[in-house]
C-alpha cells in the first residue's frame, strides 16, 4: 500500500482484490486506507456481496459481515455503507472518517456526468493519465446530459492529459474545443501554449487571429514560454551536458552517459502512461 500499516486483527490468507487500482488488500485496516486515499474513485460497485463475504469468511468478522449485508440489502447510499465499514475498523480518526463520508455524500448528490468528471480528474491527479483519458473520452461519447460549460471543462482536462504525454497536436485540438464551449481564458491560453510548445508559429498566429486574441495577451503567452525555456533548471542541464562532453573525451563513454539519461526519462514517461 506504500507505507507500513499496523493491523490489530488477523491478516486474511486470501486477499480482497480491488480491480480499480489492481491491488490486493489483506486486512480491514488496508481497506480503510484504500477508501481514505481513493475516496473519489469509489462508486456504487464498491458495495458488493463479495466484499461482505470476504469480511466474514477471510477476516473472521461474521457479525460485521452480516451488518454490511443488511445495509446492502436495504440499498443504502454509499456513504452510509462506507461509514459503517470505517467505524468498525478504527484505523482512521473520527475526523478522517467524517471528512471521507462527507466527500462521498457530496459526490452522490452530483449528476452522473459530474461524478464521472471528478473520477477522471482524480485519475489525472494521480498521474494515471491513460486511464483518465479513457474516462474523459468515454464521458464525451456518452449520452449523459452535460451542459456546455461542463463539457468545455471536460475537453480542457482531456487536453491537459494529452499535453502531459507531449501529444501537443491532440492537446491543442482539445483546448480549442474547450474554449468554444466554456469560453474560459485558461482554455484559450492553454491552446496557445500548446502551439508554442510544438513550435507551430503558423498555428499560433491563426488561432490568435481566429479567436481575436488581443496582441498583448498573445505576447504574454510568447514571453512566458520563452521564459520557461530559459529556466534555471534547463540552463543548468545544458551546462551539465557540456561538462559531460568535456569530461568524457571517449565518444563511447559520453554516449553511454547520454543513453543512461534517456533511459531514465523513458522510464519516467512510461510510468505516467501506466494503466
Question: Is residue 261 very low, low, confident or very high in pLDDT (cuts 50, 70, 90)?
Answer: low
Task: Tell which wins on pLDDT, 173 or 249.
Answer: 173
Strands (E) across 165-266 are located at: none
pLDDT category at 232 given cuts 50, 70, 90 is: low
> Residue 235: its pLDDT value, please?
54
Yes or no: say if 194 and 163 are a contact pair by the CB < 8 Å rule.
yes
Q: Tens digit of pLDDT for each residue in 46-74?
A: 999 999 999 999 999 999 999 999 999 99
Cell numbers at residue 237, please?
542541464
Q: What is the mean pLDDT of residues 192-220?
A: 93
Mean pLDDT value across the chain: 85
Could you give phi then psi for residue 6, rounded to 5 degrees? -80, 120
For residue 172, what are the contacts with CB-CB under 8 A and spacing of at least 6? 159, 191, 194, 195, 198, 200, 203
Write down the pLDDT at residue 222.
87
DSSP secondary-structure letter at 60? -
Q: Report the alpha-carbon distance of residue 260 to residue 75 in Å, rounded.
A: 55
- How far is the CA of 24 from the CAs of 83, 103, 169, 176, in angstroms? 21, 24, 38, 41
Q: Kind and range of the H or E element at 33?
A: helix 28-37
DSSP run (H or E) holding 219: helix 215-229
pLDDT digits (tens, 9 = 90+) for 130-180: 989 999 999 999 877 778 899 999 999 999 999 999 999 999 999 999 999
Burial class (CB in 10 A: 0-12, 13-18, 19+), 49: exposed
Amino acid at each position: 500500500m506504500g507505507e507500513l500499516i499496523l493491523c490489530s486483527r488477523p491478516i486474511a490468507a486470501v486477499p480482497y482484490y480491488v480491480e480499480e487500482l489492481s491491488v490486493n488488500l489483506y486486512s480491514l485496516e488496508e481497506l480503510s486506507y484504500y477508501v481514505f486515499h481513493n475516496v473519489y474513485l469509489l462508486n456504487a460497485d464498491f458495495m458488493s456481496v463479495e466484499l461482505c463475504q470476504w469480511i466474514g469468511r477471510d477476516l473472521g468478522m461474521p457479525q460485521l459481515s452480516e451488518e454490511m449485508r443488511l445495509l446492502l440489502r436495504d440499498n443504502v447510499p454509499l456513504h452510509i455503507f462506507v461509514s459503517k465499514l470505517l467505524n468498525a475498523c478504527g484505523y482512521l480518526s473520527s475526523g478522517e472518517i467524517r471528512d471521507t463520508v462527507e466527500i462521498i455524500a457530496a459526490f452522490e448528490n452530483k449528476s452522473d456526468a459530474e461524478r464521472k468528471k471528478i473520477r477522471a480528474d482524480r485519475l489525472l491527479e494521480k498521474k494515471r493519465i491513460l486511464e483518465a483519458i479513457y474516462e474523459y473520452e468515454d464521458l464525451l461519447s456518452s449520452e449523459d446530459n452535460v451542459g456546455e460549460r461542463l463539457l468545455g471543462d471536460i475537453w480542457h482536462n482531456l487536453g491537459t492529459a494529452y499535453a502531459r504525454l507531449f501529444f501537443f497536436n491532440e492537446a491543442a485540438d482539445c483546448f480549442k474545443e474547450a474554449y468554444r464551449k466554456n469560453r474560459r481564458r485558461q482554455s484559450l491560453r492553454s491552446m496557445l501554449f500548446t502551439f508554442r510548445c510544438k513550435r507551430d508559429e503558423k498555428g499560433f498566429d491563426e488561432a490568435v487571429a481566429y479567436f481575436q486574441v488581443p496582441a498583448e495577451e498573445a505576447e504574454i503567452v510568447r514571453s512566458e514560454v520563452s521564459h520557461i525555456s530559459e529556466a534555471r533548471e534547463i540552463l543548468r542541464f545544458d551546462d551539465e551536458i557540456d561538462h559531460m562532453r568535456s569530461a568524457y573525451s571517449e565518444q563511447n563513454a559520453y554516449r553511454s552517459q547520454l543513453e543512461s539519461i534517456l533511459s531514465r526519462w523513458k522510464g519516467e514517461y512510461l510510468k505516467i502512461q501506466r494503466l
